[in-house]
Every structure is written in structure tokens, then in C-alpha cells.
A = this chain, B = another copy of it.
Amino acid sequence: MKKKIAVLPGDGIGPEVIKSALQVLDGVATRFGHEFETAEKVFGGAAIDQKGTPLPDDTLEVCKGSDAVLLGAVGGPKWDKGNVRPEQGLLALRKALNVYANLRPVQVFPGLEHLSPLKSCRVKGADFVFVRELTGGIYFSEPKKRDRKSAVDTLSYTREEISRIVEKAYELAAGRRGKVTSVDKANVLETSKLWREIVEETAKKYPNVQTEHMLVDFAAMRMISDPGSFDVIVTENMFGDILSDEASVLTGSLGMMPSASLSERGPGLYEPIHGSAPDIAGSGKANPIGMILSVAMMLRHSFQLEKEAAAVELAVFETLQAGYRTQDIYDGTGNLVSTKEMVDQIHFRM
């Protein structure tokens, strides 16, 4: 199989983890006989520095013309005070690629439960996935404006926007443990009432999937008190942003968490959920696993290469089992390694 991949290293540790991803991708190509043609483009803060805009036209063109996009990370204090911020590039890219479905798996790795800030018994076996709406809601709706005296943002959703993301969640749940938790604030928000209505309608089409409605404030509690009770969580953009970040801490291994953002037809966008971590950039301390597992998601969701995806995941799993640890997941036992050494170990096991 031959595929074109746009590669956006971005800022901070972005370039390092992207390098790791490409090494692993190379391993996949060799072992399974595929050809991955990559095109690296400037994005985020780096693009602001070079071209004055976080998402240059040619970067976007290359992304649109690819079969998938790999993204490292964007942002950093350097650009925080500027008029144009790296994150604007990320939001613009999501919108332009129409990647409305953001999948964020939350998984506690067997043997790494002790890394969690929660008691091990609470997180053991937690394994769920967020399906976050990513191209609508309060992130993008108009009016959105501000003067010295007041400001306004708008949270709007159409039936179509809600339907397609809810469908996605049910499809996923049908192939997993068969439970959808829909998170909203239906006791306050009109958009949530419409959301709940559509979930009810969709649920009828999936008689084997169990549906649960949960208010966002209650969900924020349950995430900590009973993370094992979730399977697929579907929610709108802002709630998904908050809750998925909250959940990512539970595993104690933020650096190992991947994400996929899917559109209806075009290329998907794959990135680790960790940020650009400017404090450790260039020091060889970054955990490459979040990025590498994002590559696995790309193989699965954009290229339908299930076997290859599983091979990458297995190599990561075995490397962890063998005791290799980057500093973020090192607890004094096992083998403390650099980004490069970790990738070599994973590559070696493929």
C-alpha cells in the first residue's frame, strides 16, 4: 500500500516525537511492505516565526492533498503575548480538514497503575474513549466578539453536526463494550436539550448499545470516582476538552496518550494529547509513546491497516513490559531511557 502523509512537527518537543513516529513508521513500511511518502511542513509557532502565520497556505494545501496528517505539538510561552497564536493554526487546521470527530482513548496500562494519582484499585482496568465534537460549538460559532465593556461567545449546534458525532460514538461502542455515555448540561443549555434528543433517536438504531445521559458536572466527578464505569463518552467540543484532559491525568501517563481527529472523507489528523513541553524540548526526555500510538491510530482509522496498528501497539506494550521508561513514567524501578532509546526499543520489537 502506498500512502501520502503530511508531517507537521510544530513546536517544543514536537519535532522530537515526530522523528520517533517516522522511525516507527519506517519499521511498519519495511515489515509489511508499504510505502509511506512523507512531506514535512512548517506549522504553529515555528510557522509564525518563519511566515508570520501559524497555518501557511502551502502547509494546508499539502495536508489537504495527503491521506493523513501527523502533528507533533504546537505552542509555547514565546508566542503567548503575540497577536497571532500557534493554537489558532490548530483550530484553523481542524476546521479546514473538517475533522469533526476527536477520538481520545484513555487507558491505564497494566503494570503502570501505580503512576496514577488515584489509588491503584480505582483506576485498574479503566479503558474508555472520548468522542469529542471538534469543529463546532463555542469554539467556532458566531457572534464571537469583544470590546472594552463586554464580550460574547456563541454556542450553537445544528442537528447534522450533532447527529454525525453521535453516530460515530455508537458505531465505536458497538465494536467495544457496547455502552455510550452522552455528556451534556441539559438542565441549563438549549444545545444540550437538542443533543439529548438526537442521542435518544440514534440510540434506537443501536438496540445492543446501552445509553446513559450524564450531566457534565456529575461526569467530572465520576471520571475520578469511578473511571472504570465508562466505555464510550460522547460530548460537545468544550466539555470534551475539559473532561478528556481531566481523564488523561488518571492514567498518570499523559505522555503516552494518542488522539485521532477524523473527517467524513478527507485526511485524518493524528497527534499526541500532550503539549509542546518547552521546558524539556531538546533534552531527550520527551516520551514518544503518545505520538507513536497516534501513528497506530492513523494506520487503523485512515488506512484500515488493522494488523499494522496492532503490531505498533504490541511493540509499545512489550517495551513497557520489558521495563523501559522515559522520565515522565519513571518511578525508580526499571530502565530509565531517553526518547531515542525508547524509540529504538519499540522499533526493535516490531
Contacts and interface: CB of A to CB of B under 8 A. Distances in A.
Interface of A: 85, 87, 91, 117-119, 122, 138-139, 141, 144-146, 148-159, 185, 187-191, 193-195, 216-218, 220-221, 223-225, 238-239, 241-243, 245-246, 248-250, 254
Given A118-B119, A146-B194, 17 more contacts: A87-B188, A117-B225, A118-B118, A141-B152, A146-B193, A150-B157, A150-B194, A151-B156, A151-B190, A151-B191, A151-B193, A151-B195, A152-B154, A153-B154, A185-B241, A221-B248, A224-B250
A159 B149 contact: yes
A341 B239 CA distance: 41
Given A141-B152, A150-B157, A155-B138, A220 B191 contact: no
Given A241-B217, A245-B221, A246-B223, A158 B153 contact: no
A243 to B, nearest CB: 7
How many chain copies? 2
Q: Determine the main DSSP class of A at the interface with B.
A: helix
11 contacts: A151-B193, A153-B191, A216-B241, A217-B242, A220-B242, A220-B245, A221-B249, A224-B224, A224-B249, A224-B250, A246-B246
Which of A91, A193, A221, A239: most chain B CB closer than 10 A? A221
A10 to B, nearest CB: 15
Nearest to A85: B187
Contact of A151 (B119, B194, B217, B254): B194
Contacts of A154: 152-155
A148 to B, nearest CB: 7
Nearest to A241: B217
A145 B144 CA distance: 17
B146 A191 contact: yes
Contacts of A241: 185, 216-217
A190 B119 contact: no
Nearest to A87: B187
A347 B187 CA distance: 37
A241 B91 CA distance: 26
A153 B188 CA distance: 9
B245 A138 contact: no
A148 B152 contact: no
A142 B141 CA distance: 15
B189 A138 contact: yes
Contacts of A242: 216-217, 220, 239, 242
Contacts of A152: 141, 154-156, 190-191
A218 B189 contact: no
A188 B190 CA distance: 21
A117 to B, nearest CB: 5
